């Protein structure tokens, strides 16, 4: 079984999905299509972000104090998440 996560929503919550390995190939994206969907950008903006996570204002401890933006990049057959303070 593969565990797949969603991107964080506006509150920073994610969803987990348990997908049988045999079903994963139905959702595979060829690397050339992924590169078109998520091209590398030198200076992504807040509008480019696929998700943002806002810092909590209650008493919970967290790892960052600023809003964080996430963008998914694909290039050369590899894909990765990048984040920045936005």
Residue 23's pLDDT is what?
92
Q: How far apart are CA 84 and CA 73, in angstroms?
A: 13
Transcribe 38-73 into DSSP letters. Answer: S---SS--GGG-SEEEPPP-SS---S-SS-EEEEEE
Q: What's the token pair of residue 25?
A: 């190939």
pLDDT in tens, 26-63: 988 888 888 888 787 888 888 888 777 777 666 665 66
CB 69, CB 45: distance < 8 Å: no
pLDDT at 20: 93
Q: Give bridge partners of residue 76 from the DSSP assignment.
A: none
**pTM more than 0.75:** no
pLDDT band at residue 5, thresholds of 50, 70 and 90?
confident
Percent with pLDDT over 70 in the chain: 88
């Amino acid at each position: 079984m593969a565990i797949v996560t969603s991107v964080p929503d506006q509150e920073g919550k994610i969803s987990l999905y348990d997908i049988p390995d045999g079903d994963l190939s139905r959702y595979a994206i060829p690397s050339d299509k992924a590169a078109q969907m998520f091209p590398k950008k030198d200076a992504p903006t807040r509008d480019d972000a696929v998700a943002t996570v806002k810092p909590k204002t209650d008493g919970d401890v967290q790892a960052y104090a600023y809003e964080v933006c996430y963008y998914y990049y694909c290039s050369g057959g590899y894909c990765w998440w990048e984040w920045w303070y936005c």
